[in-house]
Amino acid sequence: MSRSVFAALFLTASSVAFSAAAQSWVQVEALPSLRAAEDRARAYSSALTDVNGFRLSSGWYALTLGPYEEAEALAKLRQLRNAGIIPRDSYISDSAPYRQQFWPIGGGSTGIAPEAPAPSAAEPAVEAPTATAEPVAPVEVEETPREARASEGLMSRDQKKELQVALQWFGFYKSTIDGSFGKGTRNSMAKWQSANGYKATGVLTTKQRETLMGSYTSALAALGLGVVSEEKAGIDITMPIGLVEFDKYEYPFVQYKGKDGNGMQAMLISQPGDADTLSGLFEIMQTLEIVPLEGERKKNRRSFTLTGQNDQIHSYTYARTEGGYVKGFTLVYPPAKADDMARVIEIMQDSMVINEGTLTPDLSDAATQGIDLLSGLDVRQPKLSRSGFYVDGRGHVLTTAQAVASCGRITLDGSYEATVKATGKGLALLEPSTSLVPLNYANFATTPSRLRAPVAVAGYSYEGALDAPTLTYGTLQDVKGLGGEAELARLDLAALSGDVGGPVLNASGGVSGMLVDHDLTGKALPSSVRFSLKASELAIFLSENGVTASASEATGELDAEDLAVLGTDMAVLVSCWE
């Protein structure tokens, strides 16, 4: 054989060997028995193409995918491993370790290039031209719907639940997290596909699942969800610790403030108690500024939820009683974060674990307390509070029109909702939203009092800072106003703004009028000069609006104690809220 022919044969054989070595495989498993290997190969083949099985020189049996070019093998490895379809320890291999092929059954290819026939002596060997290999970009192989459904079949139940959770997080899935891909899940998948520029098949490919879960993981990372073990409060809970940080203890709350002025706030609730304690907390929480008035309230014997929304904040509070404790949480957030926080709230409520122990009052900072604060939190305050008084046994209340002008909400004694039934002559007649039976109501004086006679006003001088009305004593100075107004009486009385709207009582307990603010533009009168709208004017207004005024039949003078009881039972705190 000539030297040139020998060289040509050598080069040709080398090229063939190199081609075989260039084949790459994704090795996914190695098993010690042929039967076990065939069972696993059958399972993989139901979801994936290109499944092969080879006997190894060690006697074990390898399961592989391929063969591919190296770049394609790498892309396939990343894709399937990230989707959880093949084990995390899968790797790229060449053909060297593989011997006899056992899968597919009856398959003839070993995946190793056969020996090339030697060239005929009559045909001179042609030396293959050399070329510089160019890098090959990774190939992302998209699945057909059939392949996608097959690869989906390899997912565990927990992986399917995680996928439903991710779809739910982004608002596409509204049903139960059960790991079952029924009609509801399929519809949500199709909606997600459409929203993300994919064809809406209702079956996510491996790549699409990877994209969805990656987006979900990124969303969770942005919230910084983490487990908080609050030993002093006896609570373990998953919270958005990426958005809030510990602030202080104010019994019965552990307070967390938002980071970087993000408008977030959170609290853990922890105190000893039972169902009665829970009911009290339910009422108290609704007085706080962080629980806006608009929102759903739900309460049963063992737990409650409070939601609140306005233009500035949304909030959610959950608490339950368990093992002699009342524990829960509040989350406050800007309206723009409502969608993200809806899922966070579910996570917090599902993850909360009640442990032994509660907060104690000695943890509180007494310096932050005040009549408008509860445990350092702002208590909701009305924009205006004035006085009024009951005028019949059905709970109708008379006050000034100014007291209830431009109110989003009106309350009586801070607890009972009321609406404006009628206005006129500077007066307002209020009707309670629920039936009320007052302890006492006005009996109007039918005869005028004599000049210099003692009078008293029953009213909330300090606009609700005190729990009960006060009586302010004075005298009748004139039976008309300073300008000669016949409907007014002038009093010498050191009343305050909160007393306006309260009943003016004569010595026998009859209502001789209502304390009003009389506008004297440009005049600054002594503080003790006050005015009363006479009982006759009040009676006419009530009659015109369907309320019959009761006349006072009392003639003798009451002692100071009895007069105080009468005024206290009759007077009402009227509060005007935004």
Q: Which helix H or strand E contains 194, and what residues bound it?
A: helix 183-195
Question: Could you report the per-residue pLDDT of 267-305, keeping only the tens digit for each?
Answer: 999 999 999 999 989 988 988 889 988 899 999 999 999
- 486 pLDDT above the threshold of 90: yes
As a dihedral over the C-alpha atoms of residue 401, residue 403, residue 407, residue 412, rounded to 10 degrees, the angle is: -110
- Does some domain include residue 493? yes
- Taken in order 472, 476, 482, 487, the sign of the CA dihedral is positive
| 276 lies in the same domain as 307 | yes
- 188 pLDDT above the threshold of 70: yes
- 340 pLDDT above the threshold of 90: no
Residue type, 455: V
- Taken in order 224, 229, 233, 235, the sign of the CA dihedral is positive
* Token reading at 240: 């958005």
Question: Could you report the per-residue pLDDT of 502-559, keeping only the tens digit for each?
Answer: 999 999 999 999 999 877 766 778 889 999 999 999 999 999 999 999 999 877 889 9
Question: Could you report the per-residue pLDDT of 210-244, keeping only the tens digit for each?
Answer: 899 888 877 777 788 888 999 999 999 999 998 99
- Does some domain include residue 215? yes
Amino acid 374: pLDDT: 56
Residue with more model confidence, 427 or 414: 427
Amino acid 108: pLDDT: 52
Residue with more model confidence, 125 or 571: 571
Taking a C-beta distance cutoff of 8 angstroms, is the pair 306, 297 a contact?
yes
Strand partners, 427: 400, 424
Amino acid 370: pLDDT: 42
Terminal C-alpha separation, the chain: 107
* pLDDT band at residue 138 under the 50/70/90 scheme: very low
* pLDDT band at residue 408 under the 50/70/90 scheme: confident
Amino acid 114: pLDDT: 34
- 2 pLDDT above the threshold of 50: no
Longest CA–CA separation in the chain, Å: 149
CB proximity list for 387: less than 8 A, separation 6 or greater: 399, 458, 459, 460, 469, 498, 499, 500, 501, 502, 515, 571, 572, 573, 574
Give the number of domains in the chain: 4
Which of 24-33, 86-95, 359-368, 472-481 has the lowest average pLDDT? 359-368
Residue type, 6: F
* pLDDT band at residue 350 under the 50/70/90 scheme: confident
Taking a C-beta distance cutoff of 8 angstroms, is the pair 333, 293 a contact?
no
Give, in order, the Cα–Cα distances in Å from 277 to each of 296, 308, 578: 21, 21, 29
Question: Could you report the per-residue pLDDT of 43-96, keeping only the tens digit for each?
Answer: 787 668 889 999 987 778 899 999 999 888 888 888 887 766 788 778 888 888
The CATH number that applies at residue 417 is: 2.40.10.120
Q: Which residue in 453, 446, 456 sits closest to 562, CA to CA?
A: 456
What average pLDDT does this structure show over 478-494? 93
Q: Which residue in 502, 414, 428, 499 sits closest to 462, CA to CA?
A: 499
Q: Which helix H or strand E contains 337, and what residues bound it?
A: none
Q: Which residue in 354, 384, 381, 403 sits closest to 514, CA to CA?
A: 403
Amino acid 376: pLDDT: 62
The most confident of 112-116, 220-224, 346-350, 429-433, by mean pLDDT: 429-433
Instruction: Tell me how far apart the alpha carbons of residues 188 and 247 are, in angstroms, rounded to a whole number.
Output: 40
Helix (H, G, I), strand (E, B) or coil at 539: helix
| 33 lies in the same domain as 88 | yes
CB proximity list for 526: less than 8 A, separation 6 or greater: none
Looking at every residue in the chain, the average pLDDT score rounds to 85
| 44 lies in the same domain as 63 | yes
The residue range of the domain holding 157 is 145-223
* pLDDT band at residue 372 under the 50/70/90 scheme: very low
Residue with more model confidence, 447 or 1: 447
Domain stop point among 377, 412, 440: 377
* pLDDT band at residue 124 under the 50/70/90 scheme: very low
Q: What is the DSSP string of 108-125?
A: ---SSPPPPPPPPTTS--
Strand partners, 548: none
- Does some domain include residue 232? no
- Does some domain include residue 233? no
| 506 lies in the same domain as 395 | yes
| 42 lies in the same domain as 69 | yes
Distance of CA 144 to the CA centre of its chain: 39
| 421 lies in the same domain as 512 | yes
- 111 pLDDT above the threshold of 80: no
CB proximity list for 449: less than 8 A, separation 6 or greater: 455, 476, 506, 507, 512
Residue with more model confidence, 58 or 452: 452
- Does some domain include residue 135? no
Question: Could you report the per-residue pLDDT of 252-266, keeping only the tens digit for each?
Answer: 999 999 998 999 999
Amino acid 389: pLDDT: 98
* pLDDT band at residue 39 under the 50/70/90 scheme: confident
Helix (H, G, I), strand (E, B) or coil at 197: coil
Domain stop point among 319, 344, 377: 377
Strand partners, 471: 458
Give, in order, the Cα–Cα distances in Å from 304 to each of 263, 278, 310, 403, 434: 25, 8, 21, 34, 23
Amino acid 142: pLDDT: 67
| 168 lies in the same domain as 294 | no
Strand partners, 56: 98
| 453 lies in the same domain as 565 | yes
Which class for 261: exposed (0-12), middle (13-18), buried (19 or more C-beta within 10 A)?
Answer: exposed
| 459 lies in the same domain as 541 | yes
| 411 lies in the same domain as 398 | yes
Which of 16-20, 61-65, 422-426, 469-473 has the lowest average pLDDT? 16-20
CB proximity list for 226: less than 8 A, separation 6 or greater: 238, 239, 241, 242
Q: Give percent above pLDDT 70 in the chain.
A: 86
- Does some domain include residue 133? no
Amino acid 365: pLDDT: 53
- Does some domain include residue 140? no
Amino acid 267: pLDDT: 95
480: left (phi over 0), alpha (psi -120 to 50) or beta: beta
Question: Could you report the per-residue pLDDT of 16-38, keeping only the tens digit for each?
Answer: 333 444 689 999 888 878 887 88
Taking a C-beta distance cutoff of 8 angstroms, is the pair 387, 459 a contact?
yes
Amino acid 16: pLDDT: 37
CB proximity list for 171: less than 8 A, separation 6 or greater: 339
Q: Residue written as tokens 């993989």?
A: 44
- Does some domain include residue 511? yes
| 540 lies in the same domain as 411 | yes
Domain stop point among 343, 377, 411: 377
Question: Could you report the per-residue pLDDT of 145-186, keeping only the tens digit for each?
Answer: 888 888 888 888 888 998 998 898 888 998 888 999 999 999
Taking a C-beta distance cutoff of 8 angstroms, is the pair 159, 84 a contact?
yes
Q: What is the DSSP string of 254-311?
A: EEEEESTT-S-EEEEEEEE--HHHHHHHHHHHTTBTTS-SSS-EEE-SSEEEEEEE-S
* pLDDT band at residue 130 under the 50/70/90 scheme: very low
| 402 lies in the same domain as 423 | yes
Instruction: Count the Cβ atoms, other than its own, within 10 Å of residue 7.
Output: 12
| Rg of the Cα atoms in the chain | 42
Instruction: Count the Cβ atoms, other than its own, within 10 Å of residue 357.
Output: 15
